[in-house]
Amino acid sequence: MIKTLSLIFFSIIVSISFAGSLPNDSVLFTSTKQSNIDSLVNRWYNKQMSPGNDTSFVVEEFSDTSFIPAFSDSVYKERLANLPLVIPMSYNKIVRNYIHMYTQKRRDLVENMLGLSEYYFPIFEQILDAEGMPHELKYLPVIESALNPNAVSRAGATGMWQFMYYTGKMYKLEINSFVDERRDPIKASYAAVEFLKDLYNIYDDWILAIAAYNCGPGNVNKAIRRSGGKRNYWDIYYYLPRETRGYVPAFIAATYTMNFYKEHNLSAKKADLPILCDTINVKDKIHLEQISQVMGMSLAEVRSLNPQFRRDIIPGNNKEYSIRLPFDRTTQFIDLKDSIIHYKDSIYFNPEAISNTPEYTTYTPGPPTKNHSKLTYQVKSGDNLGYIASWYGVRVSDVRHWNNVRHNMIRVGQKLLIYVPKSKLSKYDGINAMTYTQKQASVGKTVSKSENKTVAVENLKEGDYEFYTVRRGDTLWDIAKLYSDVTEGDIMRWNGISNANKIAIGQKLKIKSNS
């Protein structure tokens, strides 16, 4: 596999001086595409946290979070030497420059990855351990994709382990219009371990195997021949493709950083991913929104645990697929499975709706090209970014990027800039003036009567009710069960709610006392 330019994901061009005979020359980092590096950790990972819930990790050694420590070469070298590693970790000026990149220049990126590692590293470690492979190989996805399962390079390398299409197929990963197992953290990890094992069997050297993982064994073999048959990475260093010269030093630097981040006053940013999960196998066609709506989970959470379903659809058709859910939700899924499968199935599996479903992929959001036209959309009551993005056929991350929106926070009356291809301008130009029903119809979805009907509000006198604050994962059905003789309809009537699915975390609901 010619794994293309994995370091493009670092958005750094590495230029190495050829003045010396040893690869200890300084590495020059240019600022080209520097701003794109932050897109490696998509905002998809940073979902809203409950108000007042401080989940940040406090580094006890430093009270000033802006302080960036610096250390001598001897300290870096000694720390690397003391790590319990099978793979040899050389230290030189090139490695040092990558350590500085992580610990000084890209601190936000590292803190996001530290949070994500709490979820993903145990998966990698279990698979590596089962195959008798060095555990430090778990740091490869750090430099490949910044632990983003939906990452796609400009060359098409996909997933955390950045498999190209043909290599993914070679290692039996399913790739089609609905499923891309290169994005499945578990299946892609098994495939990556097999690939690395095959490369190690060729070279009997983990560093050369890692280099070949990046540029392909053909390029490594060519470098060995050009060096006169030498088989040490640093001896063939200058004969390797430029991006691979930076790949192994980046791997060493990532290994150092993920082990010694506290010493650099770095802390993990909480990733909203449940540590305890379970897997359920299904053979039915299911839309992830059906799971979200019926189980009262956020769609973002369901997606984050199942990134292999590239259009939110589990194809089914009697073929077994795995769904990953929080451990405490699996029994609920089993109990509600029939309800989930049939919930608005005629809407979610309408052929037009399926054809208009965007693919949820983490590309680098950037400025629109000259082939795009700018439209303005004014937010209406009941709108959310998911709806708006689907109406214009764009990604939610793009709408956030174009309008500098944090999380999903938009307000009624706010004007959003939307960029669409000029060739489709006539299709999207009138959306701002459409009714909600018309906009949903434009993407093949019908609006149920319950979404349009108004609710007669029962005015409760002060003292006749108490407040319930909506928590993450709550549904009206769940809330009603907490009270005797209270139904979903009662809560909707007391609070003027017309759509049972539209309640928000932190919302205060009136519950009639002594009901």
Q: Is 458 a catalytic residue?
A: no
- Measure CA of the first residue to CA of the last residue in the chain; give whole Å: 66
Do residues 487 and 480 make contact, with C-beta atoms less than 8 angstroms apart?
yes
| Residue 321, H or E segment | strand 321-326
Percent helix, strand, coil in the chain (nearest 5)? Answer: 45, 10, 45
CA distances from 362 to 142, 268, 397, 494 (A): 16, 22, 8, 42
What domains lie within the chain, and their CATH numbers? 6-33+56-264 (1.10.530.10), 277-355 (no CATH), 372-447 (3.10.350.10), 465-512 (3.10.350.10)
Tell me, yes or no, if the pTM score tops 0.85: no
DSSP 8-state code for residue 104: I
Question: CB-based burial of residue 435 (10 Å sphere; 0-12 exposed, 13-18 middle, 19+ buried)?
Answer: exposed
Helix 242-259 to helix 206-215 angle, to the nearest 10 degrees?
Answer: 120
Write down the catalytic residue from 111, 118, 125, 144: 144
Do residues 428 and 392 make contact, with C-beta atoms less than 8 angstroms apart?
yes
Nearest to 300 by CA among 484, 48, 88: 48
Nearest to 46 by CA among 103, 129, 111: 111
Nearest to 511 by CA among 453, 493, 456: 493
Tally helices (H) and strands (E) across the chain.
21, 10
The two structure tokens encoding residue 26 = 């300084």
pLDDT tens for the 515 residues of the chain, in order: 444 444 433 333 333 333 333 444 433 333 333 333 333 333 333 332 233 333 222 233 444 556 888 899 999 999 999 999 999 999 999 999 999 999 999 998 999 999 999 999 999 999 999 999 999 999 999 999 999 998 888 788 999 999 999 999 999 999 998 999 999 999 999 999 999 999 999 999 999 999 999 999 999 999 999 999 999 999 999 999 988 899 999 999 999 999 999 999 999 988 878 888 999 999 999 999 999 999 988 888 899 899 999 889 999 888 999 999 999 999 999 999 999 999 988 888 887 767 666 665 444 444 566 778 899 999 887 788 878 888 988 877 778 878 887 666 777 788 999 988 888 888 899 999 888 888 888 877 766 555 555 455 677 777 788 888 888 777 777 788 788 777 777 888 888 787 766 788 888 888 887 64
Do residues 380 and 412 make contact, with C-beta atoms less than 8 angstroms apart?
yes
CA distance linking residue 76 with residue 65, whole number of Å: 21
Do residues 362 and 152 make contact, with C-beta atoms less than 8 angstroms apart?
yes
**What value, to the nearest 5°, has the Cα angle with vertex 494 and ends 491 and 496?**
95
**What value, to the nearest 5°, has the Cα angle with vertex 354 and ends 351 and 358?**
155
